[in-house]
Structure 1
Amino acid sequence: MQKIDLLKNLNHKNIVKYLGSIKTETHLYIILEYVENGSLASIIKPDKFGPFPESLVAVYIAQVLEGLVYLHEQGVVHRDIKGANILTTKEGIVKLADFGVSIKLSEADDNTHSVTGTPYWMAPEVIEMSEVCVASDIWSVGCTVIELLTGVPPYYDLQPMPALFRIVQDENPPIPDNLSPGITDFLHQCFKKDARLRPDAKTLLSHPWIKNSRPVVC
């Protein structure tokens, strides 16, 4: 019910819209907007489209950032940004979904300083349970960029616990060698170890890699 209270107040083109709920004696059904093309994680599977080129990743990530700008302005941290939670319509509009572990910063307490999210996309401060902040979503955006480019997130060759250890210990997650300078710099911005130094979603929308990929409206 708390998640419904959070969802029903969100209204943005890049966020899946809450339409209503039905409560029975045994179940609670949440009715959400239908997003027909499914998740980006399902589209990049080898038996479908496969990993995306940089230009397409930039188009999708720009919309993810637009959604995050809105969310963060509402004081909401998504806490589980990944390809499986990014849905797309047949027109190519991206929508953030699955707010099951999201939190309003105004409602954060000691119980919210828990290891929450999905291991390979998780920011170091979340693993260390040091703080709940919007910058954690930015780290996850970086992991999602690598996921969309390669088909898997960073450290996917490791079991979850060793992966969490490496996320905390390494200077930054491994970045593929064959990327353009623009996207490489974007990833380094997302992967700043100190959460306070990570640019926010609005700033990243102005990053050259994102700006250069967006269509010019005359």
Structure 2
Amino acid sequence: MEYASGGCLQDLLNNRGYLDMDSVLYYAAEMVCGLQFLHSEGIIHRDFKPENILFSNKGHIKIADFGLAAENVFGNKTISGSIGTLHNMAPEMIQCQIYNSAVDWWAFGIVLCKMATGRSPFYEGRKAEKCIHFILNCQPSYSEQLSTELQDLLEKLLKKKPYKRLGFKGDIRRHPFFKSINWIKVEIQNVEPPFQPEPQPNPDVSIPASALEVLNIDTASTHSYSLQDFTYLSPSWQA
């Protein structure tokens, strides 16, 4: 993938807190197109989060970091493995159940809520056990000031049961939140992005050894863990 010089979505959220609704709608539509393309190619991203959503120099999004992606997952095929960033992981992944592309639509719901409100709809703290508890047992929480269409979309994306989750079930493009979207123009990037990102300096591509370390979490443990958007790999997957 070519260098995306516009930074990432997390940088934008750090600077602005949250996005205006026109920007939320625009980026959400591009994300839908991106995820649907990946899934049509049998790819489940499994770590869809603001840090992995980059901007081109023209302001279009690019889904990045496929280091945890699963390939050749077509049709009714399912896979297993609790892997990804804990705050964005779907319930079935946390519970080490088999799953499919519905996990990416759950993560999209988390990202969508963060764009619109600046917050996750679940626990945002640093304790793994509390994060897991909220995802598995609590309903998503977000501002009632959001439009009824957006609230309904979030509710349908954040279904605990993956087979009920919009994106995997039903045509997400037909949801009322996207009623103003011309999907053909979005797919060919013929819609003007909400803003022109400032070019970022060329990155230092050297990778320090510390960046390659993987943090292990035992979800059955009663200990408290600190976490800051870490990448999670189930102990059962360790060599």
Return the TM-score normalized by structure 2: 0.69
Q: Percent identical across equivalent pairs?
A: 30
Paired with 1:198 and 1:106, the residues of 2 have a C-alpha distance of 18
Of the three residues 157, 164, 172, the one matched with 1:197 is 164
For the pair 1:147 / 2:111, whether they are aligned, the reply is no
- The equivalent of 1:207 in structure 2 is 175
1:89 is aligned, of 56, 63, 70, to 56
How far apart, CA to CA, are the structure 2 residues paired with 1:213 and 1:55?
11
Could you tell me which residue of structure 2 aligns to residue 59 of structure 1? 26
CA distance in 2, matches of 1:162, 1:181: 29
Residue type at the aligned position of 1:35:
A
Uncovered stretches (5+) of structure 1, i.e. residues with no partner: 1-16, 18-32
- Counterpart amino acid of residue 195 in structure 1: P
Mapping 1:89-108, distance limit 5 Å: 89-106=56-73
Match of 1:44 in 2: 13
Deviations 1:141-191 (A, max 9, x none): 110011112323231135232111211112x32122221101001101101
Q: What is the count of residue pairs matched by the alignment?
A: 179
The CA deviation at 1:215 is 8.8
Corresponding residue of 1:9: none
The CA distance in 2 between the partners of 1:215 and 1:132, in whole Å, is 28
Matches of 2:183 and 2:42, distance apart in 1: 30
Structure 2 CA distance for partners of 1:127 and 1:215, relative to 1, 3 Å: closer
Q: Which runs of 4+ in 1 moved over 4 A?
A: 213-217
Label 1:215 to 1:76 Cα distance change in 2 as closer, same or farther (>3 A). closer
Residues 41, 148 of structure 1: 8 Å contact kept: no
Partner SS, residue 54 of structure 2: strand
Q: Which moved more, 1:61-70 or 1:206-215?
A: 206-215
Query: Is the 2:19–2:115 contact (alpha carbons within 8 Å) kept by the matching residues of 1?
Result: yes
Structure 1 residue 192, shift from structure 2 partner: 1.3
TM-score (normalised: structure 1): 0.75
Matched letter for residue 162 of structure 1:
K
Equivalence map 1:68-87=2 (5 Å): 68-87=35-54
Do structure 1's residue 133 and structure 2's residue 111 form an aligned pair? Answer: no
CA, structure 1 residues 197+215, in 2 after alignment: closer, same or farther (shift >3 Å)? Answer: closer
Q: Considering only aligned residues, what root-mean-square deviation do their CA atoms show, in Å?
A: 2.2
* Residue 159, structure 1, aligned to residue 127, structure 2: yes
1:56-113 deviation line (CA, Å, top 9, x unaligned): 1110011111011111011111001111111112322111001111001449xxxx62
Aligned mates of 2:41, 2:153 — CA distance in 1: 24
Is the 2:157–2:167 contact (alpha carbons within 8 Å) kept by the matching residues of 1? no
